[in-house]
A and B are shown apart, each in its own frame.
Chain A
């Protein structure tokens, strides 16, 4: 019998080896994947026991903080948003049951204090509880409030304001807003509200027809590629037949041979349509790429919550080899869809002598002892156009506000450079139908000679023009930022 007993023991050893194998698989080899499972609330529950760091506006206003609840083993922290709906976008929310979003999600590691394996082992040895870091953002609380108030008065839309030299995001407002404090109670309701879509950050996720604001991109491509100079004239008739359909100027006004200044000031469609065709599809797409179109923006928000700007055919991003109506793309129509953030980046690049900085919401990370452990080091995303081209565009954009289509953006005592846009969006489902529906835009920067802020403002589903509804928002937000400094 002894032989069988030894064999039986061998079998038991093999069975126990299987147990060790399975335990190793779950605890080590598959552990990371298991922590990502939706059904696994452990990582969130454990994070809930860590005092998550605060999120602050540039002036120290507390946007988010965590308050303790319960004691001992039941101790947990609950996220509070004292400013309510003011920073619902772009800060987002962080709750155990509902998960997290936007800035809270992107900067999770810093906020919960997951610095590095080494420091956490050190902390554990010292018997220290893991504690999160505070993050100070670049957001301007009063300008954000102005943006939301102005938007609330005219309709759904968004405002994005970026500091051109550094890429610091000062305002990222989306209307309608939502209160992140309410998320634990009404997330389902917020999600189901498709008409208002309050959880959609229109500044970074809204995809709108850019209208005439896109003419700045067309002009940039034309100038920078050498297709035209500021003196080059193009004959601009009242109407122009492109691809079998007539393309009109406002009131079919005919301008004759004019140069860039006049064309941009009066937003002459037939002029830019011809420029677009002269520039050619390859070059125009290349300049779009350089400005950040056709890819996710380099902002500190989760990529899955950012929209790409570009030409889309039923959700598919088109490239330079796809057949498109170039003349209509040149004036911001066709199938162009852009985010307010992208247009703010265009304005920012022109304002900063052609250098586009990476837009960033965070400014510095402060550890629980009050030490600054990390500080934003502004970095350049690209240089889409030369300094010379930027200066020429700057001059032309000043004319728009001084004497052209964007006079409502003017601020007394300061030179403003900008561009209006009004894209006709008839039968737009999200506007509830109707033919008199526009997407109104204004983008620009101030002061024109020494730019301190670049802003894009847009309003959905309005019957008015960019100069009527978007330019005043631009002006108010710009004033709030300039006065606040």
Chain B
């Protein structure tokens, strides 16, 4: 049997080839200058991936072999798309990719015993909430497109929500691991609906409050949706009570409905989603152009570098925020429905591997942590792709590992590191218990 790490190594080769081919295609489009640069990019990328692979070989020999190549594939894909939009942005992105891998390595180095996280769960929760609050703090907060998403301290600017989501998942996994029994046992049936015990309702209200807070004060509809959905996913997995999820969903909808009718920013987002043609040149411009770009792509797309991003002869955007929010629309435009399905399939494979880790994990915290991290990752992809395809209102979250943006890349590599940590322990335990002939324990 091929070892996990050898499988990972084999899987990285096509990724590097794909990146090289992608850059070659972009260069070929940009005035027939197929030179060594495309090969250098491919070689550089492969070298960084190899270094990471060797690190994993030493540190986490049993971790899932497919996750890192899949993520590398997304990153390579993102780099090619961003290079195609603006080479200087791709340079930034490549640097962040390396920074992300450094944090990835540090996370694995210092959190090898990730049970530490459980001990500091309240600290982590507070840090997560503070991170959420930061963009509203005077002096360091920054407003982007009407939402308070950014923080700027000196030369360092980042989007705290990306890191905050990891804190939230860690806290919830830990909290629910401890309280899932009481939540199940203490539940009461009232009027045919199973309600959680009141005294454990508090923390859930806090999470609900945090989501609503984000909706109203941070005005970040996308992150709010993502956080709450991840919370419900964890609650469901921990308790197995669908009624809890239904109650949570109802609470979110009531809250969202209330704020949608009272807070103009949220209200506008919904209005644009329902009728983008009302103001095609102003508020509806981005979503309409996103859809038009997809219509332009068709089944096979126009090819790398062939789609229009700005209005020719001007700097006016034809596809606004092509490197961040609407990068998926650009992918559909250039690579067509087939290319887009490929991207969605990669996210689905990552989700499948993530949930697989949760399935084989031996203890409750590991299970919930892997579930939460995977869920928040998959939901983030859903929120932004759903936004630009008008399945749900368009909100400004990034497409993980593809969109331009340092916070997103770095935070998601930390997320990946945690998943691999859980995976390494789970696979080692399950293989040793298999050798002993004992069934893997569920829960603890």
Using a CB–CB distance below 8 Å, which chain A residues touch chain B? Answer: 1-9, 12-13, 15-16, 18-20, 22-24, 26-28, 30-31, 34-35, 37-42, 45-46, 48-49, 69-70, 72-76
Residues of A within 8 A of B348 (CB): 12-13, 16
CA distance A360 to B113 in the complex (A): 83
Between-chain CB contacts (< 8 Å), 18 pairs: A1-B364, A5-B358, A8-B371, A8-B375, A12-B351, A16-B347, A16-B382, A18-B386, A19-B386, A27-B295, A28-B299, A34-B291, A34-B295, A35-B295, A42-B318, A45-B308, A70-B313, A76-B313
Main secondary structure of the interface of A (DSSP, over half): helix
Asked if A8 contacts B236 (CB within 8 A), the reply is: yes
Given contacts A1-B238, A30-B295, contact A39 B288 (CB under 8 A): yes
Asked if A19 contacts B391 (CB within 8 A), the reply is: yes
Chain B's closest residue to A43 (CB) is B296
Q: How close is B356's CB to chain A, nearest CB, in angstroms?
A: 9
Q: How close is A302's CB to chain B, nearest CB, in angstroms?
A: 23
Report if B267 contacts A (CB, 8 A).
no
B74-82, B89-97, B193-201, B336-344 - interface stretch: B336-344
Asked if B236 contacts A23 (CB within 8 A), the reply is: no
Contact of A22 among B351, B352, B355, B391 (CB under 8 A): B391
Q: Please report the total number of B residues contacting A with Cβ < 8 Å.
A: 53
Using a CB–CB distance below 8 Å, which chain B residues touch chain A? Answer: 31, 233, 236-238, 240, 277, 280-281, 284, 288, 291-299, 308, 311-313, 318, 332, 336-337, 340-341, 344, 347-348, 351-352, 355, 358-359, 364, 367-368, 371, 375, 378-379, 382, 385-386, 389-391, 442-443
Extra contacts besides A28-B299, A31-B294 (4): CB < 8 Å: A1-B367, A1-B371, A5-B359, A7-B236
With a 10 A CB-CB cut-off, give which of A3, A34, A35, A42 has the most chain B CB atoms.
Answer: A42
Residues of A within 8 A of B238 (CB): 1, 4
Q: How close is A393's CB to chain B, nearest CB, in angstroms?
A: 55
CA distance A7 to B237 in the complex (A): 9
Chain B's closest residue to A77 (CB) is B312
Chain A's closest residue to B297 (CB) is A27
Asked if A74 contacts B312 (CB within 8 A), the reply is: yes
Asked if B359 contacts A23 (CB within 8 A), the reply is: no
Given contacts A26-B294, A28-B299, contact A9 B312 (CB under 8 A): no
Asked if B389 contacts A5 (CB within 8 A), the reply is: no
Asked if A9 contacts B240 (CB within 8 A), the reply is: no
Main secondary structure of the interface of B (DSSP, over half): helix
Q: How close is B87's CB to chain A, nearest CB, in angstroms?
A: 13
Residues of B within 8 A of A48 (CB): 312
Q: How close is B124's CB to chain A, nearest CB, in angstroms?
A: 22
Q: How close is B183's CB to chain A, nearest CB, in angstroms?
A: 13
CA distance A2 to B344 in the complex (A): 24
Asked if A27 contacts B340 (CB within 8 A), the reply is: yes
Chain B's closest residue to A75 (CB) is B312
Chain B's closest residue to A21 (CB) is B391
CA distance A280 to B57 in the complex (A): 99
Residues of B within 8 A of A8 (CB): 233, 236-237, 355, 371, 375
Residues of B within 8 A of A49 (CB): 312
Residues of A within 8 A of B313 (CB): 69-70, 74, 76
Asked if A27 contacts B332 (CB within 8 A), the reply is: yes
Q: How close is A442's CB to chain B, nearest CB, in angstroms?
A: 49
Chain A's closest residue to B305 (CB) is A73
